Amino acid sequence: MPKVAKELSALEVKNLPPGSHAVGGVAGLNLEVTPTGGKTWILRVRTGSKRREIGLGGYPSTSLADARVKARETREAIAKGQDPVAEKQAAKAALLAQQASQKTFEWCVACYVAERKDEWKNAKHQAQWLSTLQTYANPIIGKLSVGAVGLPHVLEILRQPQVDKAKQPLWDCKNETASRLRGRVEKVLDWATVHGYRDGLNPARWKGHLDAILKNPGKVQKTAHHKSIPYAEMHPFMKTLRQQDGTGARALEFAILCASRSGEVRGATWNEIDLKNGLWTVPGERMKAGKPHTVPLSKQALQLIAAIEPTAGTDLVFPSPRGKVLSDMTLTAVMRRMELEAVPHGFRSTFRTWGGEQTAYARDLLETALAHTLENKVEAAYMHGTQIEKRRKLMQEWANYVDLPQAQGENIIPLKSVNA
């Protein structure tokens, strides 16, 4: 049993110097005074085989009288077999667990995006990923505890009426967006489960769950193909295109010759182009599949590049007047000025159809030329790594085809326009 110290008065306690001072009244009750003047009540006791130092509050917010009351109550609890320290720790753990279970869906989204930001190929993709959830999910479940998100909430998100589509459900009228949204909600909820913020099956999972409630995306969504020009009309089109002035027209011409996407061409830089070996290598961060893609350049593509004077202050091959990347509408605007219904991306379809119907090149070689991902990984690596010369021949034949009119005697299909 600790020795009971002399009982100090309130005035004596107030004037205690730095150090640890027994204040009496209750065995083990001390006032810890720091050199800076901070004062804390400490009760030194033994619980079972352990020596404990239990904090009873700060002085003067906890007065001498109050500290003695707390000290007596604590000693009485210990005498009954209780461990105040263990109980306090358990209460704190329970509170932390409760707080963890109350993490909101919105908070989980922010954490998930922060952890995954290096996995997205560019900032735009990350922004789109986050924007989808902020637009469609957060208004419904953003402030809700992530552990409380269930099937009714997920269905409410996917079926929310769209004002711009005559209040049709999102899943029916914007199925591609809704499908991506569902997948993103599923990933966030999976993340929350792994971190202990929720338990049970994921209410946003598709297979064996939502597929039994919602329409199959393939039956809801009608694939909208990019409007294209028939390959038989490419010669008159290219002839007209080459009469158009401006960087946009040259970028479109280059995109056609390379069967490339608009974004790949608009972002092309001089250090990506090897004029000596006739190659254009697009880095993975600018490719849809996230992998580098090398395009063997035809003579026509090389001539086009050679005729371009580099712009001071930028490494872009096709810069805007301000030296920035061309807008994604620039190439489309060229088509509209030519009064055509087709869109720039449609020329990739034109190239693929021409290759399939007018050449003997293997399907996989044509797909590789378009930078499409092949299912067979070994074959894909072989196609990308060892068949550059075969693809060089392919791209040269394509460039020659769009350069020359059809052979004499073939039907000439007139170039179609919006006004036709």
Same domain, 249 and 372: yes
Residue 249 pLDDT exceeds 90: yes
Instruction: Indicate the number of domains in the chain.
Output: 3
Tokens of 123: 């900032």
At 224-241, the pLDDT tens digits run 455 778 888 899 999 999
The domain that holds 37 is classified in CATH as 3.30.160.390
Task: Answer whether residue 50 is part of any domain.
Answer: yes
**Per-chain mean pLDDT for the chain:** 85
Among 27-31, 121-125, 339-343, where is mean pLDDT lowest?
A: 121-125
Residue 91 pLDDT exceeds 60: yes
Task: Answer whether residue 413 is part of any domain.
Answer: no
Same domain, 390 and 299: yes
Same domain, 291 and 393: yes
Same domain, 64 and 166: no
Pick the last residue of a domain from 49, 81, 100.
Answer: 100
At 169-206, the pLDDT tens digits run 999 888 888 999 999 999 999 999 999 898 999 999 99
Same domain, 187 and 210: yes
Pick the last residue of a domain from 53, 72, 100.
Answer: 100
Residue 49 pLDDT exceeds 80: no
Task: Answer whether residue 415 is part of any domain.
Answer: no
The domain that holds 166 is classified in CATH as 1.10.150.130
Task: Answer whether residue 110 is part of any domain.
Answer: yes
Same domain, 110 and 238: no
Pick the last residue of a domain from 173, 193, 220.
Answer: 220
Task: Answer whether residue 412 is part of any domain.
Answer: no
Strands (E), 277-357: 279-282, 293-296
Same domain, 93 and 174: no
Tokens of 88: 């306090």
Tokens of 394: 């392919």
Q: How many CB atoms lie within 10 A of CB 203?
A: 18
How is 362-406 classified by DSSP, letter by letter? -HHHHHHHTTPPPS-HHHHHHHHHH-HHHHHHHHHHHHHHHHSPP
At 286-307, the pLDDT tens digits run 888 788 999 999 999 999 999 9
Return the pLDDT at 417. 38
Give the residue among 150, 152, 146, 153 at the shortest CA–CA distance from 198. Answer: 146
Same domain, 21 and 109: no
Task: Answer whether residue 3 is part of any domain.
Answer: no
Exposed/middle/buried for 284, CB within 10 Å: 0-12, 13-18, 19+? exposed
Helix (H, G, I), strand (E, B) or coil at 273: strand
- Residue 181: HSE in the Cβ half-sphere, 13 Å Cα cutoff: 23
**Cα dihedral sign, 291-297-298-300:** positive
The domain that holds 339 is classified in CATH as 1.10.443.10
Nearest-5° Cα angle at 324, 252 to 280? 50
- The β-bridge relationship of strands 279-282 and 293-296 is antiparallel
Among 111-115, 139-143, 163-167, where is mean pLDDT lowest?
A: 163-167
Give bridge partners of residue 32 from the DSSP assignment: 20, 40
Same domain, 32 and 116: no
Residue 140 pLDDT exceeds 90: yes
- For residue 130, the enclosing domain spans 105-220
Task: Look up residue 136 and give its DSSP letter.
Answer: I
Report d(CA 199, CA 71) in Å as an integer. 42
Q: In the chain, what is the straight-line distance between the N-terminal and C-terminal CA atoms, in Å?
A: 106
Same domain, 136 and 82: no
Same domain, 270 and 369: yes
Tokens of 341: 């219904």
Report d(CA 16, CA 32) in Å as an integer. 9
Report d(CA 380, CA 373) in Å as an integer. 7
Report d(CA 171, CA 164) in Å as an integer. 14
Same domain, 41 and 109: no
